[in-house]
Structure 1
Amino acid sequence: LESPLCPPASPAGCGVPAISPSVHYSERIINGQNAVPGSWPWQVSLQTRSGSHFCGGSLINENWVVTAAHCEFNPYSHVVVLGQYDRSSNAESIQVKTVSRAITNPNWNPYTLNNDITLLKLSSPARLGPRVAPVCLAPANLALPTNLQCVTTGWGRTNTNSQALAVRLQQVTLPLVSLSQCRQHWGNQITSSMLCAGGVGASSCQGDSGGPLIYQNRNVWTLIGIVSWGSSNCNVRIPAMYTRVSQFRNWIDYIVAQG
């Protein structure tokens, strides 16, 4: 039960894009497809001040973005870009925001990549609209079935033979993989703070880090994972790891409530 002292970080009306995504449940983001422009309005790009994309993130309300700790966002040298689809276009009405606070989970371990989550407080609230809107956060301790079909999005590498990042936002559908199955690939580096997805011919890849793993439940998209780590060559047969958002929901609500 949510206590009135600590209102939830997710606003009413979250998770419903004004521009409908086109998701076909068959398809780094290797082997993904172009997204419908504007259809993932919570997707943000973390960039250097000169405009180089290095990680993704998700808008969770008008003031806060969630991303991966390993992205090492630095408020002095980095910015959050909202409302972007085509990174080469000058015609998009993007919002470029500085960050007043970057709060990394106190249990983040850069050696094991456990608890890979950071909250970014925007210096001024995002202007919400059709192309900029928050995703819903998974409730605490949400139980998720194996093989649940999820979507991940990002501007990461799309070709294992190239370091180039995607120009247009990519999406791909991936199934959740049980932690026991995941341990067959990764051994006991896998913890209860992680989610495992993929291994079916598609993969997140470098540049997608920090971005969302979401699923649709009764028309509402919910953030269940944050792109964290995987095989160095984005092997599409090996599942990749995502930070399990439900394990951090109470911490997120606590930080956001403090402002």
Structure 2
Amino acid sequence: MAGQSFSLSPAVPSSPRVGYHQVILGEYDRDSNDEAVQIKRIAKVFVHPSFSKKNFSNDVALVRLSSPAQITSRVSPVQLVSSSTNIPSGTLCVTTGWGRTATGQGPRILQETTLPIVSTAECMSYWGLTRSITDSMICAGGSGSSTCQGDSGGPLVCDRYQVGIVSWGTNDCRDNAPGVYSRVSFFRQWIDDTVSSNSA
């Protein structure tokens, strides 16, 4: 969450839609009915104006919730990295999600894994000419763990600051391949301006 009324999301075609999706806050076990979750309708989705469906550059959107989230022990806004912050390669960061696991299934319990930041040069070397790595992207992983289908939109957090949003990776979720995330620092000004001009 970016504040109590906004959530960060990818801008890919499967991004949240008004009247179709809901935002569920505070969930850990998808099969449990005993968790104190908050279910919010989506008031509006702001897709980055420079989002490219061709290479997933600028893959970020802001979702405005129909009502502010209530801050609890399970729900709180994340601190966003500043626009001037550079995360050194090798820094260990954490990502979470309910994406496919090694069994090929989506898990019941929220999964967490630790990934090292991969330099842009190393990431470009891996992806070669098959995909473009732009300034709006940051790479992590490639060392035995990876995000997978179903993790899109999840956070990449380094030392309590969100630095990335799960964007794309290999089709078969290879754990030796660096995953690609939308770089929050690159979008920080757009995020701040959008939240400021669309807050009630």
SS of the residue corresponding to residue 50 of structure 2 reads coil
Partner of 2:194: 255
How many matched pairs?
195
Partner of 2:180: 241
Q: Give 1:198 shift.
A: 0.3
Large movers: runs of 4+ above 4 Å = none
8 A Cα contact 2:9 2:15, kept in partner: no
Q: Partners in 1 of 2:108 and 2:84 — Cα distance? A: 36
Q: Partners in 2 of 1:122 and 1:234 — Cα distance? A: 31
* C-alpha distance after superposition, 1:36-77 (max 9, x if no partner): xxxxxxxxxxxxxxxxxxxxxxx1211010011113211111
Q: Partners in 1 of 2:151 and 2:86 — Cα distance? A: 25
TM-score (norm 2): 0.95
Q: Partners in 2 of 1:172 and 1:75 — Cα distance? A: 31
Partner of 2:62: 119
User: Map of 1:1-259 to 2, 5 A cutoff?
Assistant: 59-70=1-12, 71-159=14-102, 161-162=103-104, 164-187=105-128, 189-216=132-159, 221-258=160-197, 259=199
Q: Partners in 1 of 2:84 and 2:183 — Cα distance? A: 9
Q: Partners in 1 of 2:108 and 2:175 — Cα distance? A: 21
Q: Partners in 1 of 2:147 and 2:9 — Cα distance? A: 15
Q: Partners in 2 of 1:155 and 1:210 — Cα distance? A: 11
Q: Give 1:144 shift.
A: 1.1
SS of the residue corresponding to residue 150 of structure 2 reads coil
TM-score (norm 1): 0.74
Unaligned runs of 5+ in 2: none
Q: Give 1:142 shift.
A: 1.2
Q: Partners in 1 of 2:149 and 2:84 — Cα distance? A: 28
Amino acid at match of 1:83: G
Q: Partners in 2 of 1:141 and 1:79 — Cα distance? A: 33
8 A Cα contact 2:10 2:152, kept in partner: yes
Amino acid at match of 1:245: V
Amino acid at match of 1:146: S
* C-alpha distance after superposition, 1:151-175 (max 9, x if no partner): 000011112x52x211100000000
Amino acid at match of 1:69: A
Amino acid at match of 1:240: G
Alignment root-mean-square deviation, CA: 0.9
